[in-house]
């Protein structure tokens, strides 16, 4: 009698034993929860930014309002809150999915590290340049640091496989230029060329005796200077709070009774609030503002 040969159990095309399913990867629920809180927070701040409304702990004139209205509240033309929303959503998605714990960790590490670096940078800028802190920004900073710590603690064994030195070097090659690019963008170095009429207008304002009273922490004062770009250094600017936001007001400002920023005094007339270059040219009688340029004259 012929003996029936038993077919050995083979492997499929994927290299796994047939009939054996891959164990399901459990989501990192704590990371998902923290990132979810970050999503809610950034959605709230984004709505407030777009509507221009005050928020809890962020009333008009408060430290939070100063930060949210500053040049550092946007990045590459988009609200920082929108970038934060995208980062938190991506972290939540990666933490909830993934083929393996090692692959998921290799994705979560750079995402959370970028969040920490940008959040620390923005916090330091607010502290040094504006002498102000945003409560909601500090909450976001705490969230992203907590996520980063959790990611480090959940690192699978023998990950990264290439070793920490090479792993961190590869990230530094990417992240250092990225942080330099972000700093350059927020400093205005990547802005388009200024209107060539702005520098002569700034010089005319100074020569005509006009004065521009402001404060370094004032959002509208920053916008006023931003309208002049690199020519802002030529404006007849008077800093009214040289001793800090809570310090004594400068004598020149007190003597003029300056109680709001920015304030312009042009040809004996007082103008409160931000003025466009067109308005400044009109108030100061700068006739060259609307004069045809050399290129137009040749046409």
Range of the domain at 253: 198-292
* CATH number of 164's domain: 1.20.1440.130
Q: Are 134 and 141 in contact (CB under 8 A)?
A: no
What pLDDT score was predicted for residue 293? 52
Q: What is the pLDDT along the chain (299 residues), one digit of tens a residue?
A: 455 555 554 444 444 445 445 567 899 999 999 999 999 999 988 887 777 655 666 666 677 777 777 777 888 888 899 999 999 999 999 999 988 999 999 999 999 999 999 999 999 988 887 777 888 889 999 999 999 999 999 999 989 988 999 999 999 999 999 999 988 887 777 766 678 999 999 999 999 999 999 998 887 888 898 889 888 889 999 999 888 777 889 999 999 999 899 999 999 999 999 999 999 999 999 998 986 553 443 33
Q: 134, 166, 186: which is the final residue of a domain? A: 186
- Closest Cα partner for 139 from 147, 131, 151, 130? 147
Residues 6+ apart with CB under 8 A from 116: 144, 145, 148
* CATH number of 263's domain: 3.40.30.10
Q: 138, 158, 186: which is the final residue of a domain? A: 186
Instruction: Report if residue 191 sits inside a domain.
Output: no
Instruction: Report if residue 118 sits inside a domain.
Output: yes
What pLDDT score was predicted for residue 56? 61
| Range list of β-strands (E), the chain | 74-75, 78-79, 211-214, 237-239, 263-266, 269-272
Instruction: Report if residue 182 sits inside a domain.
Output: yes
Instruction: Report if residue 15 sits inside a domain.
Output: no
What pLDDT score was predicted for residue 226? 84
Instruction: Report if residue 41 sits inside a domain.
Output: yes
* Total count of residues recorded for the chain: 299
What pLDDT score was predicted for residue 6? 52
Kindly state whether residues 33 and 67 are assigned to the same domain.
Answer: yes
What pLDDT score was predicted for residue 13? 45
Kindly state whether residues 176 and 257 are assigned to the same domain.
Answer: no
Number of Cβ atoms within 10 Å of the Cβ of 296: 8
Q: What tokens appear for 243 in the block? A: 């001793």
Could you give the strand order of the β-sheet that contains 237-239, starting from the edge strand earlier in sequence? 237-239, 211-214, 263-266, 269-272
What pLDDT score was predicted for residue 3? 52
- How far from each other are the two terminal CA atoms of the chain, in whole angstroms? 107
How many domains does one find in the chain? Answer: 2
Instruction: Report if residue 21 sits inside a domain.
Output: no
Kindly state whether residues 144 and 92 are assigned to the same domain.
Answer: yes
Q: 158, 186, 214: which is the final residue of a domain? A: 186
């Amino acid at each position: 009698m012929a003996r029936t040969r038993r077919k050995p159990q083979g492997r499929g095309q994927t290299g796994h034993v047939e009939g054996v399913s891959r164990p399901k990867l459990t989501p990192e629920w704590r990371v998902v929860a923290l990132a979810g809180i970050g999503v809610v927070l950034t959605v709230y701040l984004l709505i407030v930014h777009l509507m221009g409304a005050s928020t809890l702990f962020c009333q008009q004139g408060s430290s939070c309002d100063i930060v949210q209205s500053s040049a550092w509240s946007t990045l590459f033309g988009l609200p920082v809150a929108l970038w934060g929303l995208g980062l938190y959503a991506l972290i939540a998605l990666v933490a909830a999915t993934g083929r393996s714990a090692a692959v998921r960790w290799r994705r979560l590490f750079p995402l959370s590290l970028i969040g920490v670096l940008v959040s620390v940078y923005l916090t330091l800028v607010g502290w040094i340049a504006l002498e102000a802190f945003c409560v909601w920004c500090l909450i976001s900073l705490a969230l992203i640091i907590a996520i980063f710590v959790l990611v480090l603690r959940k690192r699978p064994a023998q990950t990264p496989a290439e070793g920490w030195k090479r792993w961190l070097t590869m990230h530094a090659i990417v992240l250092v230029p990225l942080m330099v690019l972000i700093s350059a963008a927020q400093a205005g170095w990547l802005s388009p060329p200024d209107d060539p009429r702005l520098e002569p207008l700034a010089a005319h304002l100074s020569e005509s005796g006009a004065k521009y009273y402001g404060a370094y922490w004032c959002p509208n004062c920053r916008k006023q200077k931003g309208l002049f770009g690199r020519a802002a250094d030529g404006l007849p600017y008077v800093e009214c709070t040289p001793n800090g936001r809570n310090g004594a007001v400068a004598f020149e400002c007190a003597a003029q009774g300056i109680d709001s920023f920015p304030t312009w005094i042009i040809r004996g007339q007082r103008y409160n609030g931000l003025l466009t270059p067109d308005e400044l040219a009109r108030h100061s009688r700068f006739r060259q503002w609307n004069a045809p340029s050399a290129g137009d004259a040749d046409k």
